[in-house]
Amino acid sequence: MNDKPLNVDIVSFDNLQAIFDTEDALLNAPEKPKKITSTDRLERSFVEILEFVREHGREPSATTREIAERKLGARLEGIRGNPEKVELLRDLDELGLLDEPEAPASLEDLLSLDSIGDGLGLLDDPSGLHDVAALPVDRRTHSETGQGAQREKCEDFDQFEPLFKQKHAELAEGAARLIPFRGGQTIREGAFFVLNGMMMFVAEVREPEYKKTTVRENRRERLRLIFENGTESAMYRQSLNIRFGEGDGGYEVVPVSYEELLADDVATGWVYVLRSLSDDPQISMRKNLYKIGFSTTPVEKRIANAKNEPTYLMAPVEIVETYRTYNMKTSALEHLLHRVFAGARLRINQTGTDGRSYNVTEWFEVPLHVIRQAIELITNGEIVDYSYATDLRSLVPTMS
């Protein structure tokens, strides 16, 4: 075990995992550089496209005046037009950029592409982004919008109506907010979206269907979408993704902490991971017990009196890792980590020097490498798609 704690200054978390891997890498004998093949170059170029889509929530344009984006857009078009390249990149295509457009199997499927309706004012009025309830009402008839043939009444809407009311309340209270749609990977069971002024809930992602073509076998998943007006639709995931890509796109409803983790103003602090040096067998026997916390002062100063503070289990502690944060709400990062690992929280009451009993909540039984992984996922925005499985002791995808 390395006795020296790892201290990391974080200006940008993009290379966080590389920092974590550095120590082990230094122990390895240098390897001869591998020859870069055409396949390697192709994969790297496609990864750049994926990174662009994740960052901007849309595909790069091949006609924009922005040179860097235009290159990516042209590259994507070239890949799509080459079946061999498409097959080589299939395993890397997490966002479905290379999936073939679905041919509607029926008239109902064809009409479902327009089932959301057109703009109701949200996309044209930025000032209304945080108050969906205040959006103008669509007063056109079903014959004008075509919704009568495209959606059907949700017979069990009474089960979903409270969910919409709760989500509207969260938006009104500031506990949730709208962010631009980030891509098809966010379409998962339990997610809320707003498209053309209408809030929808993904109630179900059904079993994948496979359709063979002359080139390959296409996978597609039909969704059960519940709309706040009491209707529902059963379009495919890919079809919904296409709708989000039209016009100015749609919005995701997310907890405020995910969106506001990065702040405009500098908020310097430290997020730390500690190990207890307690002699209490109930503590010392727990191999993967760590305290995750934050401090606005240097961690060494913060833990100086650990043996007399219940939050540190009335015992000295060892600094395992610290993360210096810039342009970041340190408390929000800590809160997210606690939320992710809530199922692994150690429930314990500790008696303080004043004789009172304190409920200690910041200690978790989680392997250190998983804590590192969670921090990486938080900083790249993907933590919303993961949860901690206590039985597996690992982070697992929550999206279907």
pLDDT tens per residue across span 271-323:
889 999 999 998 999 989 999 888 888 889 889 999 999 999 999 999 998 87
Mean pLDDT of the 168-185 span: 79
160 within a domain of the structure (yes/no): yes
Stretch (H or E) spanning 293: strand 289-295
- Distance between CA atoms of 112 and 240, rounded to whole angstroms? 9
Q: What is the pLDDT of residue 236?
A: 85
Q: What is the pLDDT of residue 143?
A: 34
pLDDT over 80 (residue 68): no
Higher pLDDT: 118 or 369? It is 369
Q: What is the pLDDT of residue 363?
A: 94
Same domain, 238 and 308: no
pLDDT band at 123 (very low <50, low <70, confident <90, very high): very low
Mean pLDDT of the chain: 74
Number of domains in the chain: 2
Q: What is the pLDDT of residue 257?
A: 56
- Distance between CA atoms of 68 and 332, rounded to whole angstroms? 33
pLDDT over 80 (residue 78): yes
* pTM value surpassing 0.75: no
Domain boundary among 198, 233, 259: 259
Long-range contacts of 238-242 (CB under 8 A, 24+ apart): 238/96, 238/99, 238/101, 238/102, 238/184, 239/102, 239/109, 239/112, 239/113, 240/187, 241/96, 241/183, 241/184, 241/187, 242/101, 242/113
pLDDT over 50 (residue 14): no
Mean pLDDT of the 6-33 span: 46
Same domain, 385 and 277: yes
Q: What is the pLDDT of residue 399?
A: 56
Place of tokens 């996922």: 377
- Distance between CA atoms of 223 and 204, rounded to whole angstroms? 6
Domain boundary among 195, 224, 259: 259
Same domain, 276 and 252: no
Q: What is the share, in percent, of the chain residues with pLDDT greater than 70?
A: 67
pLDDT band at 379 (very low <50, low <70, confident <90, very high): low
Same domain, 252 and 114: yes
pLDDT over 50 (residue 137): no
Mean pLDDT of the 239-265 span: 68
Same domain, 127 and 233: yes
